Amino acid sequence: MHHFLVRTPLEADIRFLAAHLTPADRAELAASHPGGEVKELVRQFVAESLESVSLVYRGRAVAIGGVASVGPVFCVWLLTSVFMRSCQKTGVRFIKNWLHQQLQIYPFLCNWVDQNHVVAQRFITYLGGTFTGASRKLSGRQFLFFIFRRENMGGILQTGQYYTSTASLAFKQRKKTNRSFTQQAQQLTDRLQQTLQEREAQTKYLFQSSAEKSRQRAQYVREQVAALQANLARAGLDGSSASVQLLLEKNKNQEAAQRAKEARDTAEQLNAAQAQTARQVASLREDISQAHRRANKKSTVWKMTKKLFSWFN
């Protein structure tokens, strides 16, 4: 038992399993995915799975499996290497426990198996799976449809609480998930509204700040002009000389240049604030859209899954 390791599939596990896949599994893959390279197919299965696991014995990946969402259903898959024979009894026990754990999450698991893969069919029956009688032909080989139902797995949900159907718990979990996505969308909407309010307050502050600076500058210039005129009056001048007019014109030009600079600075600050806010708003709106899409997708997928599940009961 201590030679076993259960972990998320590593790249080394995928390569080893692909190189030592059992002939029956290899033939089944060739029929179901014609033209596909085994290593790439295993890597794709792992990447697209909601749950995946690698069973390692003495440093060798003897099996890799997972649960994937294919349309409205949840499909279980398992591939084994030729080294599975050296630990068959313990390996089967590990796989059965893992399958039980997955059926606590999903109401049922299903897939297709090659009719010529007799070992896999016996293994499915041993684990509690049932064949519905449905079949289809792929690459000239007949594939049989099988399903694992939660109630057929030895009472793994006997926790003292009674559910009127095997889908009740999963339905409650999905409702909780949908509420979570809806709450997330509402929180993001609130953040969007807060961001827009902050932008409005920031814009108002920038305008007020610019106006206040202009008032202060105008007041300073008026005081300078008044002081200059007072000095001229004390000197007995009337302020009409060329030098005095030149000085007043210089002050006016400085005031105009200062106001233009303040206007440019304010405009740049406003543009930067608007650009930042626009990015935040776009990001928040995208997050809101994704949250709504997730909630709708979860709801739609679960309705289809529930309908499909009713066909097998």
Domain residue ranges in the chain: 4-162, 171-311
Look at residue 84 and tell me whether its pLDDT is greater than 70.
Answer: yes
251-274 average pLDDT score: 72
Tens digits of residue pLDDT in 213-248: 667 766 776 777 677 667 666 666 555 555 556 666
The angle formed by the CA atoms of residues 99, 103 and 104, to the nearest 5 degrees, is: 120
Contacts for 164 with CB less than 8 Å, ≥ 6 apart: none
The angle formed by the CA atoms of residues 108, 113 and 117, to the nearest 5 degrees, is: 140
Tens digits of residue pLDDT in 148-203: 998 755 433 332 233 333 344 444 555 555 566 566 667 777 777 777 777 777 77
Tens digits of residue pLDDT in 90-107: 889 999 999 998 998 888
| Cα–Cα distance measured from residue 242 to residue 246, given in angstroms and rounded to the nearest whole number | 6
The overall average pLDDT reported for the chain is 76
Identify the pLDDT of residue 210: 66
* Percent of the chain whose pLDDT exceeds 70: 64
37-41 average pLDDT score: 94
Instruction: Mark residue 21 as left, alpha or beta (left: phi above 0; alpha: psi -120 to 50; beta: remaining).
Output: beta
Write down the number of H helices and E strands in the chain.
7, 7
Contact by Cβ (8 Å): 219, 212: no
| Cα–Cα distance measured from residue 61 to residue 54, given in angstroms and rounded to the nearest whole number | 7
pLDDT level of residue 125 (50, 70, 90 thresholds): very high
| Cα–Cα distance measured from residue 28 to residue 33, given in angstroms and rounded to the nearest whole number | 8
User: Quick one: fold of 4-162?
Assistant: Aminopeptidase (3.40.630)
Extended beta strands in 23-119, E state: 49-57, 60-70, 73-80, 108-114
Beta bridge partners of 112: 145
What element of type H or E holds 5? strand 4-7
| Cα–Cα distance measured from residue 103 to residue 127, given in angstroms and rounded to the nearest whole number | 12
The angle formed by the CA atoms of residues 123, 117 and 156, to the nearest 5 degrees, is: 20
- Any idea which residue has 């799975």 for tokens? 49
Identify the pLDDT of residue 312: 38
Identify the pLDDT of residue 268: 76
281-288 average pLDDT score: 71
Q: What is the pTM of this model?
A: 0.50
51-58 average pLDDT score: 92
Q: Could you give phi then psi for residue 12, rounded to 5 degrees? A: -65, -35
